[in-house]
Amino acid sequence: MTGTERREMIIEHIKNSTVPVSGTALAQLCEVSRQVIVQDIALIRAAGYDIMSTHKGYILNQPYTVSRIFKVHHTDEQMEDELCSIVDLGGIVENVMVQHRVYGRMEAPLGIRSRRHIQKFMADIHQGKSSPLKNITSDYHYHKVEAENEETLDMIEEVLREKNFLVES
């Protein structure tokens, strides 16, 4: 496991825990020393995560959110409509993922939470900085979407379904 993968695991473990997570527990989980965890926490904080140390362990200071992964399919021309449909209902498009038959799972962070972010993202695409990741898998892709509650995710799912973007499993 690389350091980056370990730090992602630490973030997810702390984020998903309902109680503070001790450095010892993280060290055992990642099969490294407690000192490595202390260094990783410093790097995670430097990356912008608000991780607090308590006498019982580490906690991530963030508002409570829920997330859901949606499998979607649409053209390049429909991409802006898809993203607006999500953020207009209060969702945050955390990433885009594809499952490539040769390379396996490929993922890119997005963090799109507003129409302003969408405009910037679309401008980058239109300027030819790169093409959408979905294009390598015939427009099929996944988005991890975060929201304040399940009701918001349900509304997002319904709108994606109505617009025929959602791929039903």
pLDDT, position 103? 92
Instruction: From 112, 142, 128, 122, select the one nearest 77 (Cα to Cα).
Output: 122
Please tell me whether residues 87 and 129 are part of one structural domain: yes
Q: Which of 45, 60, 75 is the last residue of a domain?
A: 60
pLDDT, position 64? 67
Please tell me whether residues 46 and 91 are part of one structural domain: no
Q: For the domain that residue 135 is a member of, what is the CATH number?
A: 3.30.1340.20
Q: In 4-119, which ranges are E strands?
A: 51-54, 57-60, 66-73, 92-100, 104-112
Please tell me whether residues 47 and 85 are part of one structural domain: no
Residue 47, in any domain of the structure: yes
Q: For the domain that residue 10 is a member of, what is the CATH number?
A: 1.10.10.10
pLDDT at 15 over 90: no
Please tell me whether residues 157 and 127 are part of one structural domain: yes
Q: How confident is the model at residue 34 (pLDDT cuts 50, 70, 90)?
A: very high
Please tell me whether residues 71 and 46 are part of one structural domain: no
Residue 73, in any domain of the structure: yes
Please tell me whether residues 90 and 72 are part of one structural domain: yes
Residue 137, in any domain of the structure: yes
* Number of structural domains in the chain: 2
Please tell me whether residues 42 and 85 are part of one structural domain: no
Tokens linked to 165: 């973007």
- For residue 136, give the DSSP letter: G
The pTM for the full model equals 0.65
Angstrom CA distances, 165 to 26, 67, 80, 95, 107, stand at 39, 18, 12, 16, 19
Residue 167, in any domain of the structure: no
Backbone angles phi, psi at 109, to 5 degrees: -70, 145
110 strand-pairing partners: none
pLDDT tens track for 126-161: 998 788 999 999 999 999 999 988 899 999 999 999
- For residue 17, give the DSSP letter: -
pLDDT at 37 over 90: yes
Is residue 79 within 8 A of residue 132, CB to CB? The reply is yes
pLDDT, position 154? 97
Stretch 103-118: mean pLDDT, rounded?
95
pLDDT tens track for 50-102: 899 999 999 988 766 789 999 999 999 999 999 999 999 999 999 999 999 99
Please tell me whether residues 78 and 143 are part of one structural domain: yes
Alpha-carbon distance of 21 to 11, in angstroms, equals 11
Please tell me whether residues 72 and 31 are part of one structural domain: no
Instruction: From 146, 120, 141, select the one nearest 76 (Cα to Cα).
Output: 141
Q: Which range marks the domain in which residue 132 is found? A: 66-162
Please tell me whether residues 141 and 125 are part of one structural domain: yes
Residue 102, in any domain of the structure: yes
pLDDT, position 1? 85
Number of H helices, E strands in the chain: 6, 6
| Packing angle of the helix pair 34-46, 23-30 (nearest 10 deg) | 100
Residue 94, in any domain of the structure: yes
pLDDT, position 62? 75
